[in-house]
C-alpha cells in the first residue's frame, strides 16, 4: 500500500512539473489559432478590384488616377511587376490614356493600393457591356 501511495505522489509531482514548464505568454488554443491565421494573412496579401475611367497617367512616377461610376477617385502606384493588358496583348503604362476604361486588380487597402494587374477595356467590349445591360430585365 505504501508503494502505491509513493507511485501516486510521484505521478502527481511529475505532472505538476510538466504543467509548470509550459512557456509563459501562450494563450488558449483559440488565441493561438487566430494568431496563426493572422500570420498566414500577412504572407498572402488581399487582392481587390476596381473598375473606372482613367483621369490621368504619370508614367514617370508610375501612377495612374482612376475614377469609378460613383465618383470615387483613386491614385494608385503601378507595381514594377504589374501586368498591363490591352486588346489581349501586353502593354506598357505609357499605352494608357486619359478616358480609357480600365479594370484594375490591386493589392493592399484603399489607403495604400498597388496595382498588380491593369486591363484596358476596348470600345467593342464597352458596347457589348452596354447592350447586355440594356437587354437585361430590370428587377
Per residue in 50-98, pLDDT (tens digit) is 999 999 999 999 999 999 999 999 999 998 899 999 988 999 999 999 9
Buried b (16+ CB within 10 A) or exposed e, 35-71: eeeeeeeeeeeeeeebebebeebeeeeeebbbeeeee
Alpha-carbon gap, residue 127 to 16, rounded angstroms = 75
% of residues, the chain, pLDDT over 90: 42
Q: pLDDT-derived band of residue 106, with 50, 70 and 90 as boundaries?
A: very high
CATH number at residue 74: 2.40.50.320
Number of structural domains, the chain? 1
Report if residue 19 sits inside a domain.
no
Report if residue 96 sits inside a domain.
yes
Report if residue 32 sits inside a domain.
no
Report if residue 28 sits inside a domain.
no
Report if residue 36 sits inside a domain.
no
Owning domain of residue 82: 47-133
Report if residue 109 sits inside a domain.
yes
Report if residue 53 sits inside a domain.
yes
Report if residue 55 sits inside a domain.
yes
Amino acid at each position: 500500500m505504501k508503494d502505491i501511495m509513493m507511485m501516486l505522489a510521484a505521478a502527481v509531482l511529475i505532472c505538476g512539473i510538466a504543467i509548470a514548464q509550459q512557456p509563459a505568454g501562450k494563450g488558449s488554443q483559440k488565441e493561438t489559432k487566430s494568431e496563426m491565421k493572422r500570420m498566414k494573412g500577412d504572407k498572402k496579401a488581399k487582392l481587390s478590384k476596381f473598375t473606372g475611367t482613367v483621369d490621368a497617367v504619370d508614367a514617370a512616377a508610375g501612377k495612374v488616377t482612376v475614377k469609378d461610376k460613383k465618383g470615387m477617385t483613386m491614385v494608385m502606384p503601378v507595381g514594377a511587376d504589374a501586368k498591363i493588358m490591352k486588346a489581349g496583348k501586353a502593354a506598357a503604362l505609357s499605352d494608357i490614356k486619359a478616358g480609357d476604361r480600365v479594370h484594375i486588380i490591386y493589392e493592399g487597402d484603399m489607403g495604400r493600393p498597388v496595382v498588380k494587374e491593369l486591363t484596358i477595356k476596348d470600345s467593342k467590349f464597352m458596347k457589348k457591356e452596354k447592350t447586355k445591360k440594356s437587354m437585361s430585365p430590370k428587377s
